[in-house]
Amino acid sequence: MKVIIASDHAGYALKERLKTVFQNVMEFEDGGTFSEESVDYPDFAHPLSEKVAKQEFPFGILICGTGNGMAMCANKHRDIRAGLCWNADIARLVRQHNNANILVMPARFIPEETAVEIMHAFFETDFEGGRHQRRIDKINI
């Protein structure tokens, strides 16, 4: 599976670590940023979200300091369901119940080990459908 990943400067180090840890499990398209120089998170969240919304990639991963800026940008896009995850249980539920197609993580608030657990939980969990499909059908405006 090929996924797209992007971060701002606050998420850069975690993005690079996750690409290394999961290099044998999935392929990554790197949407930047490419250093710890200060950048603006919308410049990375919007292009990634457009590509996921157009189904160029099944899933995206966005990382910034708190995760909130990235999630706010991503969720402006029709058909994007970006979930901010800070532990593996939330990551599992955002797939089971919300069919999230973008995983958002707060690099300044979770240890790397937790981010790895979140990645496993998110990518190893399927959407449950049923009553949850009815609910997500009501998200787009």
| 42 near ligand RB5, rule: CB under 6 A | no
Angle subtended by helix axes 88-96 and 112-123, to nearest 10: 20
73 has catalytic annotation: no
Binds ligand RB5 (CB under 6 A): choice among 4, 5, 10, 48: 10
| 104 near ligand RB5, rule: CB under 6 A | no
Number of residues that bind ligand RB5 (CB under 6 A): 8
Q: Which is nearer to ligand RB5, 61 or 99 (CB)?
A: 61
64 has catalytic annotation: yes
For 31-57, letters b (16+ CB in 10 Å) and e give bbbeeeeebebbebbeebbebbbeeeb
- The full DSSP string for 112-129 is HHHHHHHHHHHHT-----
Q: Considering only the stretches 51-59, 62-70, 78-86, 119-127, report the one whose residues sit in contact with ligand RB5 under the rule CB under 6 A.
A: 62-70
Q: Contact 44/31 with Cβ under 8 angstroms? A: yes
| 83 near ligand RB5, rule: CB under 6 A | no
Q: Quick check: helix, strand or coil at residue 2? A: strand
Question: Shortest Cβ distance from residue 73 to ligand RB5 (Å)?
Answer: 9
CA 81 to chain centroid: 9
Which residues of the chain form contacts with ligand RB5 (CB under 6 A)? 8, 10, 41, 64-66, 68-69
Q: Which residues are catalytic?
A: 64, 97
